[in-house]
Structure 1
Amino acid sequence: MSYAVLKAAGYVLVHTPDMIMHNGTTQTVEKAMNPDSEYLKKVPEHLRTFEEVVNYAPNQTYIGNLTPEALGKLEKPWVGVDVPGSSRDGKFGEIMPQVEFIAMLKLSDVFDLVKLEKSFMDLAKAEYGKNALATPEELARLGEGDSLAMIEELVNVHHAEAIYHDGKLVGCVKKAHDVDVNLNAHVMFENLVVKASGILAFKHLVAKNNIDPLSIDYVIECSEEACGDMNQRGGGNFAKSIAEMGGAVNATGSDLRGFCAAPTHALITAASLVKADTYKNVVIVAGGATAKLGMNGKDHVKKGLPILEDVLGGFALLISENDGSSPVLRTDLVGKHNVGTGSSPQAVITALISMPLDKGNLKVTDIDKYSVEMQNPDITKPAGAGDVPEANYKMIAAIGVKRGELERTQLNEFVEKHGMNGWAPTQGHIPSGVPYAGFAIDDLTTGSLNRAMIVGKGSLFLGRMTNLFDGVSIVVERNSGETASEGASVSKEEINNMIAEAMRGFAAHLLNA
C-alpha cells in the first residue's frame, strides 16, 4: 500500500490589536480582577502597527517569505528590526489586517449573530474587497450594516460581545441562546474567530497551490477551541463549516482535539486515512485562539517591549495519495507518548524521538531537520520560558549522545545543523511541529534534505482530567519516485510477461525432469 504525501501548505496570520485588550485572557482577567491596573493603562502604548507586524522577521518566515535558514542568520532579538522587502503577501499565505478580518467574521456567521456598524461596514467592505481572495458574492453578502445605537443596546443590555477597531465600538457578536453558556456571546465570538481564520488558511491553501476544492474528500480541524451546545459541549463541527465556506462541497470532516499536540495527531490521522485508501485528499486545518492574545503581555510591557502576541495564527495542509514526488509521510515511523512513559521533559522527548528512529533503524543524525515546538524566542524569553526550540534540540542531541550516535563535543553542532530558530506565535497548537511543513515540502523535493521529523507535544493536565503530558511524532522523507511502499507500480502487460516467463520456466523444468 502506498504511503500518503504532504502535498501543499497554507499559513496565515491576522493582526488583531484591539482583540488583545478585549479578548485576550490575560487582559480580560486583569480587567475583572484589577480594573485600575497600571498594566492595562500601558497596553495601548505597547501595541504594534500593522506595518511593524508585517516587517517582523518571524512573521515573514511564517508566511514563507523568509526561510528558516535566512531567519537563523539574523541577529536576535528580532523585535524592532524591519526586514527589507517585507510584504503582507507570502508564498504560503498572508498577514491580514484587523479590519479585513472583521469582515471575514461577518462572512463566517450563518446565524445572523455578527452585527457591524454601517460606516464601519463600508470601510470593511472596501478594504476586504481589495483582497485577492474576496469575491463579488461575499461583498454582496456583507450587507449594509446596522446602527451604532442598536449595537450599543445589544452590548450593554443583551450581553453581546463587543467588537472594537481603533479603540472604537464597531460591532458585536450576539449570544446564540438565552440560557446555554456554551452558546453565549463570548464563546460564539471565540468560535467565529477560529472559523474565520481557519477559512482564511483553507482559502490560501487552495489558491496558492491551484487546488480544486471539489477534489477534497475530508477535512480535519485541529485547533484548541471546541464548539457545541449544552447537550454536546465540544461536539463540533468546525471542519465541515470551514469546508462549506471554502467550497469543498464534496468533503465531510470532523474535529480533532489534543491541546498543542493536535495538529501532529491530525497529520498522522490524515496520512493514515489516505494510506488506507479511505480518502484520497485530506485537509487538516486550524484557526487561531483569541484567548492566547497578549498571554505574556505583562512580561513584555514590564521589559519595555511591544506586546508580541498580537496575531492569530492559522494553517492548512493537504495530504494526498502518493504522486511520486511530494514528501512521503512515513506512518510506519511514528512516535508517541504512552500513558506509562512518564511526564519529565526528558521522558517525553525520548519517547517521541527514539521510537520512530528505532522502528526505522535510523540514527538521530539521519533526520536532517527536527520541527519541534517552534515558538518564537522573542516572545518566550522575556516571559522566563527561555528559547523553547533550542531547549528541545539540546535534549534531542543528548539522546544522540546517550545512543552513542553523537559525541558530547558535537552537541552544539547538532543543534545548529538539525535544529531551527522558532518563528511561530504562541497560539498553543500553532507552533507544535507543523510550521515547518510548508518548508519541508521544498526541502524534501527541490532542496537537499532527505528526512525531517514533525514533533507535536501537549499539556493534557490543563483540562484537569489527568496529569499526563501528550505527544506524537512522524518522519517525513524525500519521495523515492515509487508509488507503492514495496516497489514501483507494475503494468498489466508487465505482469502478463512475468507470468508467461514463469510458465516457460516451469515447462522447461518439467521437460528436463
Structure 2
Amino acid sequence: MNSVIKGAGYVLVHTPDMVLHAGTTQTTEKIVNPDSEYLKELPNHIRSYEDVVAYMPNQTYIGNMTPEELAEHEQPWVGKNMENAQRYGKFGEIMPQDEFLVLMQVCDVFELVYLDKAFVSATKDKLAADPVIGEDIMAKVAEGIDGAEIKRLVDEEHAEPLYHMGNLVGCVKRAHDVDVNLSAHVMFENIACKASSVLALLHAVKAAGIDKADVEYVIDCAEEACGDMNQRGGGNFAKAAAEVAGLVNASGSDLRGFCAAPAHAMIEAASLVKAGSYKTVIVTAGGCTAKLGMNGKDHVKKGLPAIEDVLGGFAVVISANDGVNPEINLDMLGRHCVGTGSAPQNVIGSLVAAPLAKGGLKITDVDKFSPEMQNPDITKPAGAGDVPLANYKMIGALAVKNGELDKKELASFPAKHGLVGWAPTQGHIPSGAPYIGFAREDILAGKINRAMIIGKGSLFLGRMTNLFDGVSFTIQPNSGAQAEEGVSEEKVKGLIAKAMKEFAETLMADADAE
C-alpha cells in the first residue's frame, strides 16, 4: 500500500542583519568592491519584521492565504501588505531574528554560539511564548556572556559576528584552528540551517497530530553540508535536528541533490514506509544563509526592498497508509535519466508526460502541478522572469504536442493547472515542496483529485558533471481502505472458510444423490 502524507510544517525566519553580513552577494561585494554604492544603499532597503509578516507570499507560505487567494491580487505583491496578518499560520510561523538567534544557541552542542547576557535576558521569554517551543528546548538556553568578550572573540579569534538591529549581540566561534570546513562562517551557516530545520520539524509534528516518539526516521534535504577536512559533507543534519526537536526514537540521514533534493527525499521516505522499514518518516530542510539577498543588487537598483530577507524551512510527515490521508503514488515516478538530455522538451517529457503515461493518464488529468515555485516578485526584477509560469507554459505546450490539449486552451492552462509562485529563493525550498501541505488539504477536501510535485536541480553547480537533474511524484486520494479490504488476512480467511463450506455441502449433496 502507498504511503500517505500526514501533515506538513512550513517556517520562515526574518533575518535582516544576516542579509547584510552573511549573504554571498554581499560578502563577495565586500571583498571585491568594499566601497560600492550598493553596500552603502542596501541598509535603506531592509524591511521591518511587520512588513515581512504582512507580505502576502509569506502569509501563503505558512498557510494563512491559499495560492488561489494570492493569485487574485495583482503582481507585484511587494508593498501591498495583507491586513491583520499573523505570525502563526496553520502550517507554521514567521519567526523574528532575535528569537532565532537564541534558537541557534540552543542548537549548538559544542559551545560555539555565544550571545550577550542582556540580549538573552531580553529575548528568551519571547522564544518561550512560541507554542511549539517546549520546556525541553528552553532548558538549553544559556545565560550568555559579556558583550566585551563577544567583541574580543570576533576581533581576535576569527569568530563570526551575530547582529540584531545593527548591534553586535553574539558570535559563532570556529570549531577548528585550521580546518576550513569547521571555520566560524561554515559553522554559522550550518547551525542556522539546523535551527530552521528544528523549527520546521516541531511544526510538522504539531500539524500531523502525532507524538514525537512516533517518528522513526528523518531525512534532511537542505543544501548545506557538515563535516571536517577528512569527510566534508559527511553529515548528519537530520539526526542533529531530530535530537534538538526531541524525536527520541528517530534515526536519520542526509540526502543532497541541489534544488531537486526535496522531491528525491519524498520518494525515498515514501518508499521506506511502503517497504515497512519505518512507519513514520519526516523529510525536512532548513534554510540557506548564503542565498539571503542573492538578487539584492537588482532589487536595490529598481528601488525595491531586499525581498530575499527570510530563511525558509519545511518538514513533511510521511506515514503508513491510514485509509484517510492522500497517497504518494510510487508507480508513477518521473526521473531525469543520464541520457535524457537538457533540452526543455526532454526534461518536461521525462518528469511529466512519461510517468503519467505509466498510469494511463494524460497531462490534463493532473489538477495541479507544483514545479519550481519561486516568488516572481523576486525573480522578475532580476531578469529571470516568472519561473512557475514558464514551467506551466512548457507543460501545456507538451500537452498540445501530445494531442492532449487543444491549442486554443493553452493560454488558460497555467491558471487551470498551475499556481502562482510564493516561495523564497532558497534553492531547495521552492522546488515543488511548498505546495505539498496545500495539496494534502485540497485532496482531502475534494477540491482536486491529483497533484504532481516536480523537483529540478542544477548538478553542474558542483563542478562534477554538466548534467541536469529532476524527479517527480504524484499525490492522489487515499485508496488504501478499499485495497486493504480486498486483500486483508481476515478477508482471505473468510473467503477460504466460505469456499470450504460450500465444497463440503456439495460433497454431501453428491453422497445423498448416490
Q: Calculate the TM-score normalised by the size of structure 1.
A: 0.97
AA of the residue aligned to 1:416: A
The answer on 1:495 being equivalent to 2:485 is no
Contact 1:322 1:483 (C-alpha < 8 Å) held by counterparts? no
- 1:385 and 2:384 aligned: yes
Deviation at residue 54 of structure 1 after TM alignment: 0.5
Q: Residue 324 in 1 paired to residue 336 in 2?
A: no
Q: Is the 8 A contact 1:116 1:145 kept in 2?
A: yes
- Summarize deviations over 1:335-356 as a string: whole Å, max 9, x none: 0000000012222121100121
What SS does the corresponding residue of 2:488 show, helix, strand or coil?
coil
Displacement, 1:45?
0.4
Tell whether the 8 Å contact from 2:107 to 2:191 is kept in structure 1 after alignment: yes
CA contact (8 A) 1:323 1:483 kept: no
The alpha carbon displacement at 1:291 in A equals 0.3
Residues 302-313 of structure 1: matches in 2 within 5 Å? 302-313=301-312
**1:209 is aligned with what amino acid?**
A
**Is the Cα–Cα contact under 8 Å of residues 198 and 314 in structure 1 kept in the other structure?**
yes
Q: For residues 285 and 24 of structure 2, what CA distance do their matches in structure 1 show?
A: 20
Q: What is the letter of the counterpart of residue 263 of structure 1?
A: P
Q: Equivalents in 2 of 1:265, 1:126: separation in Å?
A: 38
Q: Number of residues paired by the alignment? A: 510
CA contact (8 A) 1:100 1:124 kept: yes
Spell out the pairing of 1:391-410 with structure 2 (5 A cutoff): 391-410=390-409
| 8 Å contact from structure 1 (residues 16, 310) kept in 2 | yes
- Tell me the equivalent position of 1:22: 21
Correspondence list, 1:126-165, <5 A? 126-165=125-164
Which letter does structure 2 place at the counterpart of 1:496? K
Contact 2:137/2:244 (<8 A) preserved: no
Aligned to 2:247: 248
Shift of 1:491: 5.2
- Counterpart CA distance in 2 for 1:311 and 1:7 is 26
Task: Report the Cα distance in structure 2 between the residues aligned to 1:349 and 1:451, rounded to whole angstroms.
Answer: 18
Q: Within 2, Cα distance between the matches of 1:370 and 1:496? A: 42
Matched, 1:79 2:84: no
For the Cα contact (< 8 Å) 2:225–2:235, is it kept in 1? yes
Q: Verify the 8 A CA contact 2:105 2:142 in the aligned structure 1.
A: no
User: Shift of the alpha carbon at 1:9?
Assistant: 0.3
TM-score, length basis structure 2: 0.97
After superposition, the C-alpha distances for 1:420-479 in whole angstroms (9 at most, x for unaligned) are 000000000000001000001111111321100000000000000001110000011011
Deviation for aligned residue 1:140: 4.0
What letter corresponds to residue 400 of structure 1 in structure 2?
A
Deviation at 1:504, TM superposition (A): 4.5
Once the two structures are TM-superposed, the CA of residue 141 in structure 1 deviates from its matched residue by 2.6
Q: Is the 8 A contact 1:368 1:418 kept in 2?
A: yes
Q: Is the 8 A contact 1:238 1:255 kept in 2?
A: yes
SS in 2 for 1:500: helix
Residue of structure 1 in register with 2:88 after alignment: 89
TM superposition shift of 1:12? 0.1
- In 2: Cα distance, 1:100 partner to 1:110 partner: 18
Match of 2:435 in 1: 436
Q: Deviations over 1:150-187 (max 9, x none)?
A: 11111111111110111111110000111111111000
1:33-432 aligned within 5 A: 33-432=32-431
TM-fit CA distance, 1:201 = 0.3
Amino acid at match of 1:98: Q
Q: What is the deviation of 1:128?
A: 1.3
Secondary structure, in 3 states, of the residue corresponding to 1:444?
helix
CA distance in 2, matches of 1:404, 1:270: 35
Q: Work out whether residues 205 and 317 of structure 2, in 8 Å CA contact, stay in contact via their aligned partners in 1.
A: no
Q: Would the aligned equivalents of 1:223 and 1:288 in 2 still touch at CA under 8 Å?
A: yes
CA distance in 1, matches of 2:330, 2:208: 24
- Conserved in 2, the CA contact under 8 Å of 1:483 and 1:489? no
- Deviation for aligned residue 1:483: 6.1
CA deviation string 1:179-213 (max 9, x = no partner): 11111100000000010000000011122332201
Show CA shifts across 1:288-311 (max 9, x none): 000000000000000000010000
Which stretches in structure 1 are left out of the alignment for 5+ residues?
Answer: none
Q: Aligned AA for 1:131? A: D
Give the C-alpha shift of residue 505 in structure 1. Answer: 4.8
Residue by residue over 1:358-404, the C-alpha shift from the partner in whole angstroms, topping out at 9 and shown as x without a partner, is: 11000111000000100000000000000000000000001100110
CA–CA distance in 2 between the matches of 1:144 and 1:65?
A: 35
Change (3 A) 1:483 1:259: farther
C-alpha distance in 2, partners of 1:111/1:483? 51
Q: Report the identity percentage.
A: 61
Distance 2:136 2:417 in 1: 47
**1:133 to partner: Cα distance:** 2.5
- Partner Cα separation in structure 2 for residue 4 and residue 154 of structure 1: 49
